Amino acid sequence: MRYRLLSALVASAAIVTDAAPAASSYDYIVVGSGPGGGPLAANLARAGYSTLLIEAGGDEGDNPTYTDIGNFNEAANDELTRWDFWVKHSDDPVRDLKFKHTTWDTGDGTFYVGLDPPADAKLLGIQYPRAAVLGGCAMHNAGVCSLPADDDWNIIVNKTGDTSWSAENMRKYLKKIEKNEYLPAGDEAHGYDGWLATSAADNSWAKNDSLPGTRMLKKMAELTGQDPNDAVNLVNRDILEAGDNVDETTSFYNMVTHADSKGKRSSPNNYIRATLADPAKYPLTVKLQTLVTRVLFDEATLKAGSTPRAIGVEVMEGASLYRADPKHVDGTKGPVSQILATREVIVAGGAFNSPQILKLSGIGPAAELTKFNISVVKDLPGVGENLGDNYEGSLLALGAAPVQSGLITLLFRTPSAPTKKRNIFTWCGAFSFEGFWPGFPTYHGPTQYTCAMVHMAPKSQTGSVRLVSADPQDKPDINFRFFEKRGDEDLHELVEGANLLRKAWQAAGEPVLPFDELHPCPSSSGAAAAAAAGKEEEEEESCTDAAQAEFFKTQAYSHHATSTCAIGGDDDKMAVLDSKFRVRGVEGLRVVDASAFPVVPGAFPSCPTMMLSAKAAEDILADAKKAE
């Protein structure tokens, strides 16, 4: 497959222009405007502190590609904002080259995606798109809003002793940011006055028993221990519900998105813009198309050998300066300047860029920094390590006729899960989703049907983000090391999930059946053929459980990277942050984004990161009051 690669620079609308230059000093500087940094900067300014928010991209808050949540595939592909990271899934290049959507640069302005590249094509790797735009990745994602398991919050309590991270306490931050538009006002588990709109789909389709989707829905209920006759009601269950044993509850849910009831995306972009436009004239300045090259430290503290103190940032100004930007032109640089912070610098560049910025600033594994002649400010071996993500995979098939159905959202536990907690988040519908590559997804025709799966609580979290040079325009080397630890267990759980969903598909009936499964079990194979015949899986070489596991091992994908600047306890040498987001061993510097989570937080980290941001604002403002 070939895809066009644009090289022309495209100007984006900006809410801040050179006509209103940044001042030379602020109380706070926040680097990155995504789910962590964007709301934090707005909250600090609303508290009366002069705050500079720096974003490497532009502002697309008026662009329907981004504002209409239904355009998320187009948004993620849009070169106007896209940053392409080409990642590895393992240390084995042979294994990685089995990934069917491996991407190559052909040298003629196009990408080749596949396993048989043209001669002289340059290997790029596995695409992992991020968004350089005001609002960050919350501007190009599908907007799914779900919560981590309680244990994902409580692990921070266990590591640090800070009870403010308890799941019970963290709920208040959801209530603080949420503007719920799908439940009657008064539900104590939700918020109704926040800045983040949440909405849910209309699942009235499930009342129609004649639909193939409804028949599959009831079969899924049967296979997961739910009442098939109650499925019509269960599909409207609140996925953000509170209560005992929620994480151990297998159930259908209504998919909630951070969008309003009219389908307009709700993201940090909205909150930032509202803060700038507020008649109260909050002291927020936004500086767009500006690449932060490093954090600055007080030279006196460095010379004296005392605790280093962050005092500002160095920036390079201009569009498309970072080499992850497909619009970047080789050799392009911008003017470099320095901006000071009288209180703190807060890095919120995400799981890839936050550790890169720290390392470029002299904070990270000493041996790695020394390799690139970067002066070591603080030896922190955990910076850029502990990279984690959920494993994602899908069942994809073509029906004999289109599958009439709405979206089925199901969280369930497979038999071999190591705890009582559910481990698979699946959503099924007449769509195609097989991962990421330039031009994704592939449209397989009107009869396509997919159950996409997110495997939660991966047992291996051994990936890394490491420098390739001291040049801040370079992309880092990113390796997720999927399935490196206890991988066989995670793969078995994915196969169990696939087998259950495949059985449920056989309830679709006429005119949909038979399904022509494309993966992980092509229809000629034993598992798919046996399921179609209503029999137990046949142990044929072409699609045993082992063959399905191999498929997921080589074709799993992800897009929820976290944990590269993890919070940890005083006794953890790999901890980068304390429980208040402060970078260990230095002063005046914090990291507030998904990289702070010690483990991957549930199935989708966007809303949890916005909750984390609200907590960070509370912690930072409390420290500011103490210092006054």
Distance CA 99, CA 96 (A): 6
Distance CA 198, CA 79 (A): 27
* 512 annotated to bind ligand: no
* Cβ pair 42, 284 in contact under 8 A: yes
Distance CA 341, CA 263 (A): 38
| Segment holding 487, helix H or strand E | helix 487-505
What CA–CA distances, in Å, run from 8 to 13, 109, 329, 333? 16, 11, 9, 16
CB atoms within 10 A of CB 534: 8
Based on its alpha-carbon atoms, the radius of gyration of the chain, rounded to whole angstroms, reads 24
Q: Which of 307, 311, 308 is nearest to 296 (CA)?
A: 311
For β-strands 2-4 and 110-113, DSSP reports them as antiparallel
* 144 annotated to bind ligand: yes
* 600 annotated to bind ligand: no
Determine if the peptide bond prior to 514 is cis (ω within 30°): yes
Q: Output DSSP code: residue 588.
A: S
What CA–CA distances, in Å, run from 253 to 204, 236, 369, 455? 13, 6, 47, 17
Distance CA 458, CA 483 (A): 8
* Cβ pair 390, 458 in contact under 8 A: yes
Would you call 596 helix, strand, or coil by DSSP? helix
The residue type at 505: W
**What is the residue-wise DSSP string for 91-160?**
S-HHHHTT-TT-EEE-SSSEEEESSSPPTTPEEEEEEEEEE-BTTGGGGTS--B-----HHHHHHHHHHH
* Cβ pair 583, 354 in contact under 8 A: no
| Residue 563 main-chain phi, psi, to 5 deg | 80, 15
Q: Where are the alpha helices (DSSP H) in 316-387?
A: 350-360, 366-371
Would you call 350 helix, strand, or coil by DSSP? helix
Distance CA 373, CA 396 (A): 49
* 141 annotated to bind ligand: yes
Residue 563 Rama label (left phi>0; alpha psi -120 to 50; beta): left
CB atoms within 10 A of CB 507: 20
Distance CA 306, CA 158 (A): 30
Distance CA 583, CA 565 (A): 9
Q: Which residues are annotated as a binding site for FAD?
A: 133, 141-144, 292
Q: Which residues are annotated as a binding site?
A: 133, 141-144, 292
